[in-house]
Structure 1
Amino acid sequence: MKFQEKLKDVVKQGGAAVTASVVALVAAVVACLRWLVTTRQGRWLTAGLVTAGGLVAVGSTLVAHPPVQMIEPAQVGIRVNLLTGGTSEVREGWVVRLPHVHRLYLYSLKDQVYRTERSLSADGPAPFQAAEGLSIGIEVTLRYSLDPARIPELAQRLPGDVGREIVEPVVDGVLRRHFAQHTVREIFATHRAQIQKDLTAEIAPLLKEDGVVLRSITLGNVDLPQQYRTGVEALLAEELRAEKMRYTLELKSKQVKESELDAEAEKVRREKSAEAAGNEEIIAAKAKAEAMRHVLPFKEKEIEQRRLEAEASKVSRLTQASAEADARRIEAAGEADARRKLAESDAYRVEVTGKAASEQLARDADLISRNPLLIQKTLADKLSDKIQVIIAPPQAGGFIAGGLLGQPQESRYAQQAPPAPPAPAYSQVPEASPETSGYEEE
């Protein structure tokens, strides 16, 4: 209780203080306002503050909403008067736009491009569906622009992003409906151009209602599921092989026709060549017959000339043969005389040579009888000029060539001479150089 009483006392005291402060502040404000209104200095200060506040407000408004705006080339602007509700079209350049009075909408007249970014892949967020129910990704590119003549008419209801809010919904719906009516094979290969043409014919009127002019539609890459792509590639490979075979057969057929034409041409050429050759032979035969008619008299004269020449040659050969026979008889007689002379000379030579040989043999026999060792020396000389022989008196009844002469050496030499000292042996010494070779005696 005491605490509450103390708290109430404090609050009362605080409230009194706050009340006194507020009263003092109000009194000060009233005094300040009175000074500003009643005194000259206060009125000047008030006017300055009001002017400065107005200028600040106008400046901030101009900065936030500039009264002049630039329109770039290839742009068109629609200026709307918020007071009257009227619209006007403005082209490139500077245009006046009063803040809180005019509103300006800018539209580009350049060609713009829209692509189906979400449907590029079969595994993407929004793939297309084919007639078989397969998910496929197709790259579709649209080139469009705004119709300049209808921009003022449609400016009130055209959105800010025409591509996203008008083009994309229309195109996406038409594409999905068309692709769902065709198979993957038609989209991928066979009906690609026709599909593109049908899409252009259907989308162009729909966009034209909103003031959008469709320039072109292009179907780009088609992304197929992996399994289907493998099957399509195999099928295309088979078709390519079949197409290649068809072209190969056509080529072979053309080659056969070409061979037939070549054979026909060769046949005609040979016929013409044979005909020309026959004509040439006929002309040559006619020319030869005409020439023979003039040549035959010359041939007869030539035959007569050759007969006369043969007669003359016969007489000449007979005369030459007779002369050759006489010459051979004379040569034979001379040769016989020459051979007889040669035989006589040979006989004389043999006779003289025999006498000389007999005399030489007699001289040799006499020499050998006086010097029997000459035979051994002669025999050694005949054996080899590279053998050095030492000649010694033979033993009793010994002779190195006795066996060759067929004489009994022991009895013969025993009768001719008394016993002698031991006979030296014939020995061969090592071969010496040609400067030291010779006979040595002991």
Structure 2
Amino acid sequence: MPADMNDYFNKQRNSGGGDSQPPKPPQFIQDFSKKATAIYVLIIIAALLIFFKPFVVINSGEVGILKTAGKFDPTPLRPGIHFFIPGIQDVIVVDTRVRIVNYKSNAGEGDFDRRGGVLIKPAIEVLDARGLPVNIELTVQYRLNPARAPQTIAEWGLNWEEKIINPVVRDVVRNVIGQYKAEELPVKRNEIALKIQNDIAKEIDKLEGKPVELVAVQLRAIILPQKIKDQIERVQIAKQEAERMKYEVLRAKQEAEKKAALARGTAEAKKIQAQGEADRIRIEAQAQAKANKLISDSLTPRLLQLKQIQVQGRFNEALKANKDAKIFLTPGGAVPNIWLDAKDKQRATSVAK
């Protein structure tokens, strides 16, 4: 204790005479003592809270499971702060966000990573319809059912994924792939992927209480044996060659049809041209025949007699100029009449007027 404080108490003791009652401390010391007691109590409470930690903070995407004396409360604790009694109660926090398991060929057995809710497991090795080994790479997305989290953890434990998701996925993939031959798998990839997803969803829904919700299943790769790959490659090459030959045949057929169409067009054009020429000749002949008929109808006996007189007159005029000419009259006296000049036997003239 400081010297000035001792002096203070000595003066108080001396002033009191023979009175044995101890002196009272000053008021500020009494106030400090009360505050110190409260501070000590708060420090002790904080130390107890830090040591025993009788509370838990649950974040979004998580639920808490309150365990009292080893028994799980069926009602999950929602996000927020929750208090419990240390030593008697405990809270298990479980993740209810979407989780992913990747089945990969380059992952070893038991080699998986839970960071970010992603598990990595080896590719699923199955047998096809003929017993040939095939590796399947999958990605499965799922989440724990928040409303059933306490019952699920109580029944399956904290490693519920290994007991629920992994066995179901492997069994479904084996059953589906076993229905196909290895060389059919790449061709029917979409059909197989849809069947795997539907069958996994059915098996998950069959579980009592629906502990897990399936989000999606993606078929990422189908890894075949090398000999099957070689066989598929040969088949693809043969198909491509067949398609090429089919294309060549189709092109040749189209070319032949084109030439045939051109030939038919040319023949049709010639036919039309010939028909047009024939029609022209026929029309001209019909016109000529009609003209001849008109002429024939116009040649009356009197007209012919007139023409004969006119021709005879011309011959008479000609005889006046050439008295040695020989004249041949056609029967009936109609035109033409033929006459020859007797003086020049090398010349012959026809008169047809």
Supply the distance in 1 between the matched residues of 2:72 and 2:127 (Cα, whole angstroms).
50
User: Paired residue for 1:202?
Assistant: 199
User: TM-score by structure 2 length?
Assistant: 0.51
Q: Does 1:97 find its partner at 2:83?
A: yes
User: Paired residue for 1:333?
Assistant: none
Supply the distance in 2 between the matched residues of 1:185 and 1:59 (Cα, whole angstroms).
69
Aligned pair partner of 1:138 in 136, 139, 149: 136
Alignment of 1:380-399 (within 5 A): none
User: Paired residue for 1:240?
Assistant: 236
Deviation at 1:237, TM superposition (A): 3.1
User: Paired residue for 1:69?
Assistant: 57
Aligned pair partner of 2:46 in 34, 59, 65: 59
CA 1:283 to 1:214, structure 2 compared with 1: closer, same or farther past 3 Å? same
Supply the distance in 2 between the matched residues of 1:180 and 1:283 (Cα, whole angstroms).
79
Deviation at 1:269, TM superposition (A): 1.5
1:177-234 deviation per Cα after TM superposition (whole angstroms, max 9, x unaligned): 65566554344x345444434433432233332521223323323445xxx41x3343
CA 1:156 to 1:267, structure 2 compared with 1: closer, same or farther past 3 Å? same
Deviation at 1:249, TM superposition (A): 3.5
Alignment of 1:77-92 (within 5 A): 77-78=63-64, 80=66, 82=68, 86-89=73-76, 91-92=78-79
Structure with bigger gyration radius = 1
Q: What secondary structure does 2:261 align onto? A: helix
CA 1:152 to 1:120, structure 2 compared with 1: closer, same or farther past 3 Å? closer
CA 1:66 to 1:149, structure 2 compared with 1: closer, same or farther past 3 Å? closer
Supply the distance in 2 between the matched residues of 1:180 and 1:61 (Cα, whole angstroms).
61
Q: Which has the higher strand share?
A: 2
Supply the distance in 2 between the matched residues of 1:46 and 1:183 (Cα, whole angstroms).
88
Deviation at 1:129, TM superposition (A): 4.3
Deviation at 1:243, TM superposition (A): 0.8
1:67-110 deviation per Cα after TM superposition (whole angstroms, max 9, x unaligned): 462522xx252453738964444555x3433453562534323x
Contact residue 144 and residue 212 of structure 2 kept, 8 A: yes
CA 1:284 to 1:182, structure 2 compared with 1: closer, same or farther past 3 Å? closer
Deviation at 1:239, TM superposition (A): 0.9
Deviation at 1:235, TM superposition (A): 1.8
Q: What secondary structure does 1:116 align onto? A: strand
Greater RCO structure (CA 8 Å; 6+ sep):
2
Q: How many pairs are equivalent?
A: 246
CA 1:186 to 1:266, structure 2 compared with 1: closer, same or farther past 3 Å? closer
Supply the distance in 2 between the matched residues of 1:144 and 1:158 (Cα, whole angstroms).
16
CA 1:142 to 1:59, structure 2 compared with 1: closer, same or farther past 3 Å? same
Q: Does 1:211 find its partner at 2:211?
A: yes
CA 1:134 to 1:47, structure 2 compared with 1: closer, same or farther past 3 Å? farther
User: Paired residue for 1:14?
Assistant: none
Deviation at 1:114, TM superposition (A): 0.7
Supply the distance in 2 between the matched residues of 1:175 and 1:146 (Cα, whole angstroms).
22
% same residue: 15
Supply the distance in 2 between the matched residues of 1:176 and 1:81 (Cα, whole angstroms).
39
Q: Does 1:270 find its partner at 2:271?
A: no
CA 1:176 to 1:55, structure 2 compared with 1: closer, same or farther past 3 Å? farther
User: Paired residue for 1:108?
Assistant: 96
CA 1:67 to 1:87, structure 2 compared with 1: closer, same or farther past 3 Å? same
Supply the distance in 2 between the matched residues of 1:288 and 1:241 (Cα, whole angstroms).
69
User: Paired residue for 1:411?
Assistant: none
Supply the distance in 2 between the matched residues of 1:252 and 1:118 (Cα, whole angstroms).
43
Deviation at 1:280, TM superposition (A): 4.9
Which one-letter code corresponds to 1:271 in the other structure? A
User: Paired residue for 1:379?
Assistant: none
Supply the distance in 2 between the matched residues of 1:54 and 1:151 (Cα, whole angstroms).
39
Deviation at 1:272, TM superposition (A): 3.3
Deviation at 1:121, TM superposition (A): 8.3
Deviation at 1:47, TM superposition (A): 9.7
CA 1:280 to 1:220, structure 2 compared with 1: closer, same or farther past 3 Å? same
User: Paired residue for 1:185?
Assistant: 183
CA 1:149 to 1:266, structure 2 compared with 1: closer, same or farther past 3 Å? farther
CA 1:285 to 1:190, structure 2 compared with 1: closer, same or farther past 3 Å? closer
1:357-382 deviation per Cα after TM superposition (whole angstroms, max 9, x unaligned): xxxxxxxxxxxxxxxxxxxxxxxxxx
Supply the distance in 1 between the matched residues of 2:158 and 2:36 (Cα, whole angstroms).
42
1:33-81 deviation per Cα after TM superposition (whole angstroms, max 9, x unaligned): xxxxxxx99xx99999987665344213433536462522xx2524537
Which one-letter code corresponds to 1:248 in the other structure? R
Contact residue 115 and residue 140 of structure 1 kept, 8 A: yes
Contact residue 138 and residue 222 of structure 1 kept, 8 A: yes
User: Paired residue for 2:250?
Assistant: 254
Contact residue 104 and residue 122 of structure 2 kept, 8 A: no
Contact residue 78 and residue 88 of structure 1 kept, 8 A: no
Which one-letter code corresponds to 1:80 in the other structure? L
Contact residue 143 and residue 213 of structure 2 kept, 8 A: yes
